[in-house]
A and B are shown apart, each in its own frame.
With several copies, the nearest count.
Chain A
Amino acid sequence: MRVSVHFYSYFKELTGCAETAETLPEGSTINDLLKLLIARFPKLGAMQNSTLIAVGVEYQGRSYVLKEGEEVSLFPPVQGG
């Protein structure tokens, strides 16, 4: 299956892109996706503990099981105001 991946804030600079896509086996979790992304964008590795992850507009944890076509967003801690 295929999911799109969006980066926000300085994660765009760490990866050099705002958006990408990954192909994963059915039943893959966010954790599986993160491993693939860190392999492609090694600078994301150091950020792992502070990375926030959303699927669509909801926050999700590392064990969330991804579905075909979902939009995953990765970003650093938020800081509005």
Chain B
Amino acid sequence: MKRQLTINTDPIDEAALVPQRVMSSGMGAAVYFTGVVRGMEESEEIQGIEYEAFQKMVDHQFNLLFDEMEKRWPLESVRLVHRLGWVKVNEPSLWVEIIAPHRGEAFAACRWLIDEMKRVVPIWKKPVSEEGNTPIKEA
């Protein structure tokens, strides 16, 4: 399974990522997901989210997840982009693409990867409200 992991502060350029897809002739399904910063967090309006990561561990934990995906499903490739730093409302923070022979495994693997990411990959978010404060009580 090919892996491509991009974790940095650059804006996510989906229009560039989609045409970079490589798919061999045995593959029939591409499932991709874009996660976008919503304008509300816990019923309070926000301007954006500040993403922080423990980068070295992020890379390692994603690779453990990719190892597991490789065992579970016959996937051709996974590409994952997570933006860090300041991401404004309506901009994407996460982009994932899974290529597989059939849609069943592509959907299953994509959902599983995002669910597991939110369980084990050390990235945190701090929503920032209109006033520049953090509206969510985090402690």
Is there a contact between chains A and B in the complex with CB atoms less than 8 Å apart? yes
B124-A8 in contact (CB<8A): yes
Residues of the B chain whose Cβ atoms lie less than 8 Å from the Cβ of A6: 54
A78-B120 in contact (CB<8A): yes
Q: Range of interface residues on chain A?
A: 20 to 34
**Chain B residues touching A, majority SS:** mixed
Residues of the A chain whose Cβ atoms lie less than 8 Å from the Cβ of B122: 8, 52, 54, 73, 75, 78
A78-B138 in contact (CB<8A): no
Give the complex CA separation of A13 and B8 in angstroms: 23
Task: State whether A80 and B123 are in contact (beta carbons under 8 Å apart), knowing that A9-B52, A46-B139 are contacts in the complex.
Answer: yes
Residues of the A chain whose Cβ atoms lie less than 8 Å from the Cβ of B114: 81
Report which B residues bind A (CB closer than 8 A).
35, 51-54, 56-57, 59-61, 82, 93-94, 103, 114, 117-126, 138-139
